[in-house]
Structure 1
Amino acid sequence: MVDLSVEIIVFEILTRASAKVVGCSKSVCKEWYALLSTQDFAKIHCSRSLKSSNQRHSLTCSVYPIDIRSCDYGPGTIVDFPFNDISIHSHLDGLLCVCLDSTFELLLWNPVTGAYKNLSTPNFYCFYENNLDAVGLYIDASQDYKVLHIKRRCGVYGAHVYSRRLDSWRNIPFITRPEYIRQSFYWSSGTLCGDTLYFTVSESYIDGVNVVICFDVNLVQFKEISFPPVPCNGIYKGELLNVKNELHMFVSTGYREMSIDLWKLEGEY
């Protein structure tokens, strides 16, 4: 029997293997891990992963680490893309909460490992409707990853929390103004900052109502705080982001001539 060198195994055999096999092969030894993590391997594997027109297509995605200070990309990892039609609604620590656009099911997906968990249940927990529902990922004081799913259905609203540790759903009290249930209001995805998930709630009319809904992840309670003071002579939109554990909001106003302001939350204002 002829012994094959590591380079032949890696660059001639594993570059033709599936992303799942490549991921498992990284755990063989440190040498394999180093070779399989190089950009050269990624480029060759990507080129050989392309299917001809008479073969069944298999979708892949590339995951790249980014240095926050320099904004440089690190070596990429190619993984199988297990879905054909998804929309991403929330993210936290590398986990993505996505919706299958064909079935409206919500899933937790780790694109680095390719592992995913379907959160839907037979009693229709975790079926998502675009433009009506809102979700947010968070981690509580017990270090349990959870998904908050706010649902609006024909004048009825509710909130459910999925626990990754318990692998189960539960209803939680959700008290808000009745008008926010109307379809004219748009709920953003949740942005985690400190121990709170924040959602913008905006009415899609000129001079419409705009507020911020807060969810305390440890007290499991909702409350409402004011939107930044912006001109009330048009439609405007707020985008939330966490900067060094402080909540900021980009507010865009105008249509043909748009202006963008950056606000920071201090206390409840």
Structure 2
Amino acid sequence: MADLPIETIFEILTRVPAKVVGRSKSVCKEWYVLLSTRDFIRVYCSRSLVSSNQRVLLMDDLTCSVHPIIFQSYDYGPRSIVTLPFNHQNNDVSILSHLNGLLCVCLNHTNELLLWNPTTTAFKRLSTPDSLGIYINNLDAVGLYADDADDYKVLHIKRRCGVYESYVYYRELNFWRNIPFLTRQEYLRPNFYWSPGTFCGGTLYFTLCECWVGGTNVVICF
């Protein structure tokens, strides 16, 4: 396969199982670079959208596994164990948002945000020395989205002492930027729960729900 054109290798590797893609990164430096590009990830994910390629990722205290979805019986197939590439403790990793196979996760013992691609096993820590990329459960909200250039970004909404701040992480630039965010004062109260972000039709949506029955329910979009 080493004698094949890189375009042919690209076409082959976008059609193989995720475990093969992860192992292929160690073949040579050229393959590692190829499998880490945004174009490869985008094409691989688009070809994985057919029903025969759908997978579900399950995490518990001790293991992380991937199962094929059997749509005919509405069941899961045999699992494949996924080794987490970052240091963690039992019951320590929470999945906050996902988009096209890319996950934004939180390490609960440090509150650090990470971007993780289970297909290639690559990950990137998003925390900085000035406390950006630090997630507080039940206060913050996170959403993954893609811009017009297919660059993946993370929107992190932080709620601290009755004040909202919102930051966008630029994956290509490895950089956080504060963005203006105005909303009604009542949504600053801790009795409002923010859902994870859902990216649809070029817009990132969050639902806000009050903690009691019959409370206010709203949708906020970016």
1:102 equivalent among 87, 109, 122: 109
Counterpart of 2:83?
A: 80
**Counterpart Cα distance in 2 of 1:206 and 1:182:** 16
Matched residue type, 2:122: A
**Cα displacement (A) at 1:205:** 2.4
Query: How many pairs were matched up?
Result: 167
* Structure with bigger RCO (C-alpha 8 Å, 6+ apart): 2
Secondary structure of 1:64's match?
Answer: strand
1:213 equivalent among 193, 210, 220: 220
Secondary structure of 1:161's match?
Answer: strand
* 1:64 aligned onto 2:71: no
Q: Percent identity?
A: 67
Secondary structure of 1:103's match?
Answer: coil
**Counterpart Cα distance in 1 of 2:215 and 2:198:** 22
Q: TM-score scaled to structure 1, two decimals?
A: 0.56
* 1:187 aligned onto 2:194: yes
Secondary structure of 1:121's match?
Answer: coil
Q: What is the correspondence of 1:108-127 to structure 2 with a 5 Å cutoff?
A: 108-127=115-134
**Compared CA separation, residues 26 and 127, structure 1 to 2 (3 A):** closer
Matched residue type, 1:24: R
Q: CA RMSD in A?
A: 2.8
Counterpart of 2:23?
A: 24
**Counterpart Cα distance in 1 of 2:120 and 2:206:** 29
**Counterpart Cα distance in 2 of 1:205 and 1:75:** 40
* 1:204 aligned onto 2:203: no
2:173 equivalent among 144, 161, 166: 166
- Gaps of at least 5 residues in structure 2 are 1-18, 28-61
* 1:150 aligned onto 2:149: no
2:136 equivalent among 129, 132, 135: 129
Check whether the contact 2:22–2:119 (CA below 8 A) recurs between aligned residues. no
